[in-house]
Amino acid sequence: MDLLGNLWIGLETALTPINLLYCLVGVFFGTAVGVLPGLGPVATIAMLLPITFGLPPESALIMLAGIYYGAQYGGSTTAILVNLPGESSSVVTALDGYQMARQGKAGRALATAAIGSFIAGTIATFVIIFFAPPLASIALKFGPAEYFSLMVLGLIASIVLARGSLLHALAMIVLGLFLGLVGTDITSGSERYTFDLPKLADGIDFVIVAMGIFGIGEIVANLENESKRELLAKRVTGLMPTREDWRRIIGPIFRGTVLGSILGILPGGGAMLASFGAYSLEKKVSPNSAEFGKGAIEGVAAPESANNAGAQTSFIPMLTLGVPSNPVMALMIGAMIIQGIQPGPSVMTEQPKLFWGLIVSMWVGNLMLLALNLPLIGLWVRMISIPYHLLYPMIVAFCSIGVFSLSNSTFDVYLMAIFGLLGYVFRKIDAEPAPLLLAFVLGPMMEEFLRRTLLLSRGDATVFFTRPISATMLAVAVVLLLIVLLPSIRQKREEAFEEEAG
Amino acid sequence: MFRKIHSALAAAALLAFTGGAQAADWKPEKPIKLIIPFAPGGATDVVSRILAAKVTETIGQPVVVENRAGGGGLIGLSAVREARPDGYTVLVTTIGFGANPALYRHKKIPYDPLKDFTLITRTADIPTVLVVPPSLGINTLQEFIDRAKANPGTLSLGSAGYGTVNHLAGELFKAETGIQTIHVPYRSGGLSTAAVVSGEISGLFATTPSALGHIKNKAMVPLAMGSSKKIDALPDVEPTAKLVPGFDVPDWQGLIGPAGLPKNIVDTLNAQFAAALKDPDVVKRLSDLGAVPAASTPEEFVAFVTSEVKKWNGVADRTGMKAEN
């Protein structure tokens, strides 16, 4: 078997001093842009692309890849510390991570995120090594009908995410769907709810909604009772997970990794679905499900593992087929083309140094990230003990810079302020915003895939039930819906809610 | 130090090259903002960044790339239209620039390509190629047309959205051959390429760089070039123009500024970009990307955009092509 030989080529490539250096540069930049709210890996990679012109292709791709998965590590930091999810995949991390931080467990939450990400990254690297080609062919079997059914499943599963009243959750989902409609309809090219403002023609950016509702809304709410906020932040206990924590996170980490690895290879919202899905799954199976939303460590471990595993496996379709599964992978394909490499199945055979070197570097990079992030935890935790009247202007400033950097537009900053107000109102009426964000992202994709399916099938809706993968997912969705709605289970659910409320 | 000498030499070479023809050469005194109306990382962005880096060496001021994505390029275009015509704000536009008046003729479109802007130079072309999935069982352009004629409305052509080169080439193809195909728009060029590989759609006028790897791996079958010339990477693929006379839809890029840009500024920028497009290093980088330098005089560029506006209005007349609203 050539596998060992290939791995050897990979090791030889990834472990040269120069490639180690580029890997370190990549993961360092990645962590930095992940921590800074609003700055994402897409913009960073795009801006660094011209720098890679002069590098050998292996070094260039190793560095760019490092930025991408490094950002997944960094993204959880602000989500946990100040309730600021900078990327869609860290929204769910904020749910329990921030609650943990408020209870003085910020260090343990951050360490859990880093360790979970590392374990997930390690396993996902091996998944790529052993199963890349067969997994890639599955990704190609996913047509628009399959995606639509997957989204339906995801949206129904999101009801499980909700805390408090089911009515609130449904209202938030519907509001999210409405917000998602703003912009140019992909299928027909018509503009909807844009009020003839060109700035709304591409819809509202996810980062604006997430930062407004979560970050700014949180700050406004905190300013109401500043004295209380400072007291909360002072009791920081332990920087590392305790033995008890370990016992609780190990299962979620592995389940999150599996789910993330599978969803990561699917184009589109794979990584985001993965973190939402992993969270919903844990909330269902965990013996501590009542703690979810109030600082359950499982609620940090599962989504963080899932999104890092997903980030890793999203390289599979790009490396083996030359098909991008997200905008970052599209940029990586661009980087290959610039280097004179034609992306596609031949990369594996014609560029073994690049292919295997990149894969091995991912594991090396994950190790670096762990070494980089664990010592930083002490520093981050001290950040939240900065007096709030000094901290919040900094957060607002970083949010504004981040949002402005999306498309160099002040309009987006105003929009974020409006969503901040909305977030404050949601907090006051006790409505959980996570389902809104999920619906906001999934809604437009669902519509897109539904209409593309019907466009291609010339209006025949039975394709959703005649294509096996699609039919299976719809069946699972129905079962899930029944579980939520069945009287006996529903009673239990409401009991759980009451417990949570009390 | 070396770099300074290098750029001084380059500047001298440039002066020699242009022969000092522009008597009142424009000397910028502050950085020039080059707006790209698309997200970073796309072909237009990368090509423009290569050119910006080269012109920075010769013009004596940094040329700073700023991405103002959104609204199919309209946001960047509005920013430039409203900028002062002083040469410090310019923009690289693409094929949609000349086609939007036709696509949005049913509603007021916010600009007139010829009246609201000063056209400086065409910069580069990215050739296009019509590709189909192998599972379709079609190997020539004639077979594709025959199949489409025999079964109207069953074949589909993908695109990266309304007003993109894929969409426009497909509409022109429909108009010229009289076939009926379904337009299936995707969110990005990458996704539409993937849809050909998976066989979801029956064809796509793809930009060549995005398709070459798949063609080599037999994951796509090239039927014909969408642009008028054969390319070295695909020596056996004839231009569509062989069957459909005059068919030429490359993904072109060009440099424009606000209306009323003084002639000396236009001439200086034109000369600077033309020189950059002749630089061997730039030519090599562009060719690695699959882009072809296409420098022109300002007058040639005006004539070209005028013909584009006319062409796409003609297509809209024949096919009813529009972005619905």
Tell me how far apart the alpha carbons of residues B99 and B214 are, in angstroms, rounded to a whole number: 29
For residue A323, what is the DSSP state?
A: -
Across the range B271-289, mean pLDDT stands at: 91
Across the interface, of A198, A337, A455, the residue whose CB is closest to B70 is A198
Architecture of domain B128-249: 3-Layer(aba) Sandwich (3.40)
Tell me how far apart the alpha carbons of residues B206 and A292 are, in angstroms, rounded to a whole number: 48
Taking one residue from A and the other from B, the number of pairs with CB-CB distance under 8 angstroms is: 148
What tokens appear for A464 in the block? 């959703």
Q: Looking at the complex, report in whole angstroms how far the Cα of residue A460 sits from the nearest Cα belonging to chain B.
A: 13
Q: What is the ipTM of this complex?
A: 0.79
A351 CB neighbours in chain B (<8 A) are none
User: Tens digit of pLDDT per residue, chain A (502 long)?
Assistant: 477 888 888 898 999 999 999 999 999 999 888 887 777 787 788 778 777 777 888 999 999 999 998 888 888 888 898 888 767 778 889 889 988 988 888 889 999 999 999 999 999 998 888 888 777 777 778 888 988 898 888 777 766 655 567 788 888 889 999 999 998 888 888 888 888 887 888 889 888 898 899 888 888 888 887 655 554 555 566 778 888 888 899 999 999 999 888 888 876 656 677 888 888 888 878 888 788 888 899 999 999 999 899 888 888 888 887 777 777 887 888 788 777 787 777 788 788 889 999 999 999 999 999 998 888 888 888 877 778 788 888 888 888 888 887 777 899 999 999 999 999 999 888 888 888 888 888 888 889 899 999 999 888 889 999 999 899 989 988 887 787 666 555 555 555 555 554 3
Q: Looking at the complex, report in whole angstroms how far the Cα of residue A115 sits from the nearest Cα belonging to chain B.
A: 32
Across the range B192-215, mean pLDDT stands at: 90
Asked if the Cβ–Cβ distance from B71 to A45 is below 8 Å, we say no
Tell me how far apart the alpha carbons of residues B110 and A466 are, in angstroms, rounded to a whole number: 46
A267 CB neighbours in chain B (<8 A) are 191, 194
- Domain B2-126+250-317: CATH superfamily is Bordetella uptake gene, domain 1 (3.40.190.150)
- pLDDT computed for residue B309 by the predictor: 93
Across the interface, of B103, B188, B285, the residue whose CB is closest to A330 is B188
A346 CB neighbours in chain B (<8 A) are 213, 216-217
Helix (H) or strand (E) run with residue A212 in it: none
pLDDT value at B21 more than 70: no
A391-405, B87-101, B237-251: lowest mean pLDDT where? A391-405
**Cβ contacts of B22 within 8 Å, gap of 6 or more:** B264, B267, B268, B271
What tokens appear for A360 in the block? 């091995």
- pLDDT computed for residue A226 by the predictor: 61
The whole-angstrom distance between residue B82's C-alpha and the CA centroid of its chain comes to 23
- pLDDT computed for residue A471 by the predictor: 93
- pLDDT computed for residue A496 by the predictor: 57
Asked if the Cβ–Cβ distance from B72 to A188 is below 8 Å, we say no
* Share of residues in chain B with pLDDT > 70 (%): 91
Nearest-10 Cα torsion for A480, A483, A485, A489? -160
Across the interface, of A190, A198, A346, the residue whose CB is closest to B71 is A198
- pLDDT computed for residue A493 by the predictor: 56
B41 CB neighbours in chain A (<8 A) are 42, 45-46, 49, 327, 330-331, 334
Asked if the Cβ–Cβ distance from B209 to A140 is below 8 Å, we say no
Across the interface, of B46, B186, B324, the residue whose CB is closest to A190 is B324
- pLDDT computed for residue A487 by the predictor: 54
Across the interface, of A186, A187, A346, the residue whose CB is closest to B216 is A346
A296-300, B39-43, B83-87: lowest mean pLDDT where? B39-43
- pLDDT computed for residue A322 by the predictor: 79
What is the residue extent of each domain of chain A? 3-501
Tell me how far apart the alpha carbons of residues A418 and B166 are, in angstroms, rounded to a whole number: 37
Across the interface, of B163, B200, B214, the residue whose CB is closest to A344 is B214
B161 CB neighbours in chain A (<8 A) are 186, 189
Helix (H) or strand (E) run with residue A490 in it: helix A487-501
Asked if the Cβ–Cβ distance from B200 to A198 is below 8 Å, we say no
Asked if the Cβ–Cβ distance from B39 to A267 is below 8 Å, we say no
Q: Looking at the complex, report in whole angstroms how far the Cα of residue A338 sits from the nearest Cα belonging to chain B.
A: 5
Residue in B with minimal Cα distance to A407: B68
pLDDT value at B257 more than 70: yes
The Cα diameter of chain B in Å comes to: 68
Residue A9 gets the label, from left (phi > 0), alpha (psi -120 to 50) or beta, of alpha
pLDDT value at B20 more than 70: no
B325 CB neighbours in chain A (<8 A) are 189-191
Asked if the Cβ–Cβ distance from B75 to A346 is below 8 Å, we say no
Asked if the Cβ–Cβ distance from A344 to B216 is below 8 Å, we say yes
Contact (Cβ atoms closer than 8 angstroms) between residue A122 and residue A363:
yes
A333 CB neighbours in chain B (<8 A) are 190, 210
Across the interface, of B78, B198, B325, the residue whose CB is closest to A190 is B325
Residue in B with minimal Cα distance to A45: B41
Asked if the Cβ–Cβ distance from B200 to A345 is below 8 Å, we say no
Residue of A318, A407, A448, A449 to mutate when probing chain B, most B C-beta within 10 A: A407
A337 CB neighbours in chain B (<8 A) are 209-210, 288-290
- pLDDT computed for residue B55 by the predictor: 94
- pLDDT computed for residue A228 by the predictor: 57
Comparison of pLDDT for B237 and A200, the residue scoring more: B237
Asked if the Cβ–Cβ distance from B156 to A456 is below 8 Å, we say yes
Show the 3-state SS of chain B: CHHHHHHHHHHHHHHHHHCCCCCCCCCCCCCEEEEECCCCCCHHHHHHHHHHHHHHHHHCCCEEEEECCCHHHHHHHHHHHCCCCCCCEEEEEECHHHHHHHHCCCCCCCCCCCCCEEEEEEEEEECEEEEECHHHCCCCHHHHHHHHHHCCCCCEEEECCCCCHHHHHHHHHHHHHCCCCEEEECCCHHHHHHHHHCCCCCEEEEEHHHHHHHHHCCCCEEEEECCCCCECCECCCCEHHHCCCCCCCCEEEEEEEECCCCHHHHHHHHHHHHHHCCCHHHHHHHHHHCCEECCCCHHHHHHHHHHHHHHHHHHHHHHCCCCCC
Asked if the Cβ–Cβ distance from B219 to A201 is below 8 Å, we say no
Tell me how far apart the alpha carbons of residues A217 and A422 are, in angstroms, rounded to a whole number: 7
Asked if the Cβ–Cβ distance from A342 to B216 is below 8 Å, we say yes
pLDDT value at B237 more than 80: yes
- pLDDT computed for residue B22 by the predictor: 45
Across the range B182-186, mean pLDDT stands at: 92
Question: Using CA of residue B235, residue B238, residue B240, residue B246, what is the dihedral sign?
Answer: positive
Asked if the Cβ–Cβ distance from A45 to B323 is below 8 Å, we say no
* Share of residues in chain B with pLDDT > 90 (%): 62
**Parts of chain B belonging to CATH 3.40.190.150:** 2-126+250-317
Asked if the Cβ–Cβ distance from B67 to A143 is below 8 Å, we say no
Across the interface, of A53, A202, A458, the residue whose CB is closest to B70 is A202
Residue in B with minimal Cα distance to A452: B184
Encoded amino acid at A352, one letter: P
Residue of B200, B204, B218, B232 to mutate when probing chain A, most A C-beta within 10 A: B200
A452 CB neighbours in chain B (<8 A) are 184
